[in-house]
Amino acid sequence: MKDIKVIDGHIHYSLPTTPKMILDMLEMTETDMGNLVALYDKKRASGTIDCLYAKDVLKNKLYVYGANDITQYIKGGNMGEKLAEHVKDLMECGCDGIKMLEGKPTSRKRYPIPNFDIPEMDAYFDYLEKNNINVVWHVNDPEEFWDSEKCPDWAKRSGWFYNETFVNNEDQYNQIENVLKRHPKLTIIFAHFYFLSTQLDRLSALFDKYPNIGVDITPGIELFENLSKNKEKGREFFIKYQDRIFYGTDISGDESDSIPFAKDDSIIRAKLCRDFLSKKELFMKGNPDSLLGANDFTLQGLELDKEIVDKILYKNFYRLNKEPKNLNYKAILNEIEKERERIKFLSEYYKFDASFKYLDFLKDYFSNK
């Protein structure tokens, strides 16, 4: 293993943010390597090829978890098999795993994503399981987002108060457990601590039942507030499951951001995650341009031993992924043409003018490799 001390397992990226901006972000957060978790988008199809481009430019600095083909949710018919075929293509391109945003309630509402435990999806999960493909999966959101009285104003402004028109969080948890019952060897890192920071016994039972699942500690601030309020139990959980917890920040640099990889927010996210693991107490100065909000506050940290902190910061991720996979330029060029057809399909379905600006740039880049 190289001299790695920190691997950020959960970073978002797409063009026009440049690979140089990723490198600057890694340096200012004192991060050795990052994992770009690609997102799908109805106008771009996905940012997977963007991420593979950055991986190629920044040699040996990045992993890439590719996004699923969202057109299959619209087309239907052998959906699981078609999703599995796309995963096979992505792994051939040089992706290191798969990122699923399909469990975020806004995604379930925006796209016709079915219940995950329907028989038609079995072929997809079967392929992931049999081929030991790692998945980072966002399922649900903080439980208070389903309660109009408890949902924070900032979440409501973001469209994250979930009334009866959105999928129910307990329904989704039940769907995931049904999937795990049928595919118990799936290797899944549930993002944001699976939003179970107030239900550690429930998460512990899942860990004990399914040996290949884990969680990352990407903020939501509620994760750290909940664990701070229940420090001793939280510390016991982290010690017991020290091999199943992964570091990630959810730092984002894509075309939806006015300032890609905003400096203050990136540094705050990294500091929050790391200090919470190692310190007894941490004072966080409020910043209205970050996830913390404008008000100062203090958290009770977990005071974990360095050996455990090192596992969470890099060893667990490296054990799961080893070195980043090599890219297959021919396969990427084939995928670019398939992506072009997906954009055309989505533009007709959602009624917008298709743009291939970034895809054309990527085709030119990879054609010259």
Ranges of each domain in the chain: 22-367
- Of 74-83, 108-117, 253-262, 270-279, which gets the smallest average pLDDT? 253-262
Among residues 362, 318, 355, 367, the alpha carbon closest in space to that of 55 is found at 362
Burial of residue 154 (number of CB atoms within 10 Å: 0-12, 13-18, 19+): exposed
Look at residue 142 and tell me whether its pLDDT is greater than 70. yes
Look at residue 289 and tell me whether its pLDDT is greater than 90. no
The per-residue pLDDT for range 359-368, each reduced to its tens digit, is: 999 999 999 9
Local structure of 247: helix, strand or coil: coil
Task: Check residue 157 and give its pLDDT.
Answer: 79
Task: Check residue 291 and give its pLDDT.
Answer: 64
The per-residue pLDDT for range 341-365, each reduced to its tens digit, is: 999 999 999 999 999 999 999 999 9
Look at residue 284 and tell me whether its pLDDT is greater than 90. no
Task: Check residue 292 and give its pLDDT.
Answer: 65
CA–CA separation, 103 and 179 (whole Å):
13
Place of tokens 């129910």: 168
Task: Check residue 154 and give its pLDDT.
Answer: 72
Task: Check residue 356 and give its pLDDT.
Answer: 96
The per-residue pLDDT for range 72-115, each reduced to its tens digit, is: 999 988 999 999 999 999 999 999 999 999 999 999 999 999 99
Look at residue 259 and tell me whether its pLDDT is greater than 60. no
Average pLDDT over residues 305-316: 96
The per-residue pLDDT for range 201-211, each reduced to its tens digit, is: 999 999 999 99
Average pLDDT over residues 223-246: 95
pLDDT band at 1 (very low <50, low <70, confident <90, very high): low
Among residues 115, 244, 241, 238, the alpha carbon closest in space to that of 187 is found at 244
What percentage of the chain exceeds 90 in pLDDT? 79
Average pLDDT over residues 272-301: 79
Summary mean pLDDT of the chain: 92
Average pLDDT over residues 121-150: 93
What percentage of the chain exceeds 70 in pLDDT? 95
Strand residue runs (E) in the chain: 7-13, 33-37, 40-41, 45-46, 62-67, 97-103, 135-139, 188-190, 213-216, 245-246, 251-253, 281-284, 297-300
Domain 22-367 sits in which CATH superfamily? Metal-dependent hydrolases (3.20.20.140)
Average pLDDT over residues 254-278: 79
Task: Check residue 264 and give its pLDDT.
Answer: 80
- Of 1-10, 19-28, 47-56, 346-355, which gets the smallest average pLDDT? 1-10
Average pLDDT over residues 50-62: 97
